[in-house]
């Protein structure tokens, strides 16, 4: 796989970079962003936190708005943020913001016209880490985090592949997509009418069935306009309580769904992951 450099900017003595490549998984050009902490220059290898963004976002939103570079530089953690879906003139799209380009939902689509390109689950799980580990001085310790639709992606991919990750965290995740309008629309389009297939991408269902454990932190703002109809964190909490899963959910009074919320607590999330990523 060949990488094309798009941009490079110094930040907290490290480097914020952006790359483009052709994805065999998604059958289109893809872009992703990387933050390399200053310790990289010492020649050692570092763990990676993969960040998955939400509806309408690209690889740039988190890197530009979350103020994560300062703490990543201090801790010695590489940050990687992919785009949220395949894009391009030949990639199917939809007029709605919650389906198509910018709304890949981190699933492997099985339905036309989506199934050729919309395989974000495999891209995040396999192709992107292979690319990162080929071209950058990183080790095989990985963690997952995300926001909203990306929080859903982080929870689902992490719960289904615990052996690959040290920890998972999410801000305002879509916790029970089989029972919310965003998820119902996307899953019906990408996965078809068989709702038993939807359950494979629902964090609440997966957590209720989990036999292993991975450290997991969820942060939710109580002033989030999508809280009750779309996000449903209480469903995830109930599943954790019923199954004895040690899920940590924090509710923050007055915070909404925006990046102001993420920027306020990203240090806590990075320190949470560092406890597991940096262990010897």
Peptide bond into 13 cis (omega under 30): no
pLDDT averaged over the chain?
Answer: 97
Q: With cut-offs at 50, 70 and 90, classify the pLDDT of residue 91.
A: very high
The yes-or-no answer on residue 148 being catalytic is yes
User: How many residues are recorded in the chain?
Assistant: 280
Superfamily of segment(s) 3-278: Alpha/Beta hydrolase fold, catalytic domain (3.40.50.1820)
pTM > 0.95: yes or no = yes
The rounded percent of the chain whose pLDDT value lies above 90 is: 96
Euclidean distance between CA atoms 178 and 185, whole angstroms: 9
Phi, then psi, of 222 in degrees rounded to 5: -75, -10
Active-site annotation holder among 117, 147, 152, 257: 257
Statement: residue 139 has pLDDT above 90: yes
Active-site annotation holder among 117, 224, 269, 273: 224
Phi, then psi, of 85 in degrees rounded to 5: -170, 165
Statement: residue 20 has pLDDT above 70: yes
At 244 the pLDDT is 94
pLDDT mean over 66-72: 97
Active-site annotation holder among 148, 167, 169, 219: 148
Q: With cut-offs at 50, 70 and 90, classify the pLDDT of residue 280.
A: low
Statement: residue 144 has pLDDT above 90: yes
The yes-or-no answer on residue 219 being catalytic is no
Longest Cα–Cα distance of the chain, Å, equals: 53
């Amino acid at each position: 796989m060949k990488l094309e450099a798009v941009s490079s900017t110094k930040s907290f003595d490290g480097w914020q970079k952006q790359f483009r490549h052709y994805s065999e998984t998604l059958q289109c050009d893809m872009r992703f962003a990387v933050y390399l902490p200053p310790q990289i220059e010492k020649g050692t290898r570092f763990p990676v936190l993969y960040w998955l963004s939400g509806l309408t976002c690209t690889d740039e939103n988190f890197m530009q708005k979350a103020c994560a570079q300062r703490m990543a530089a201090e801790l010695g953690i590489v940050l990687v943020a992919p785009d949220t879906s395949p894009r391009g003139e030949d990639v199917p799209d939809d007029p709605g913001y919650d389906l198509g380009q910018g709304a890949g939902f981190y699933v492997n689509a099985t339905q036309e016209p989506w199934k050729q390109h919309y395989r974000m689950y495999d891209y995040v799980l396999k192709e992107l880490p292979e690319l990162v580990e080929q071209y950058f001085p990183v080790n095989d310790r990985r963690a997952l985090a995300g926001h909203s639709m990306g929080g859903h992606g982080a929870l689902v991919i992490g719960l289904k592949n615990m052996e690959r990750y040290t920890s998972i965290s999410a801000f305002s995740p879509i916790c029970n997509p089989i029972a919310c309008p965003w998820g119902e629309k996307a899953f019906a389009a990408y996965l078809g009418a068989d709702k038993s297939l939807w359950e494979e991408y629902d964090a609440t269902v997966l957590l209720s069935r989990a036999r292993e454990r991975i450290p997991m932190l969820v942060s939710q703002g109580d002033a989030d306009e999508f809280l009750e109809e779309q996000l449903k964190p209480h469903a995830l909490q109930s599943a954790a309580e019923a199954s004895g899963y040690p899920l940590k959910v924090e509710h923050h009074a007055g915070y909404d769904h925006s990046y102001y919320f993420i920027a306020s607590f990203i240090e806590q999330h990075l320190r949470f992951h560092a406890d597991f990523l940096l262990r010897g």
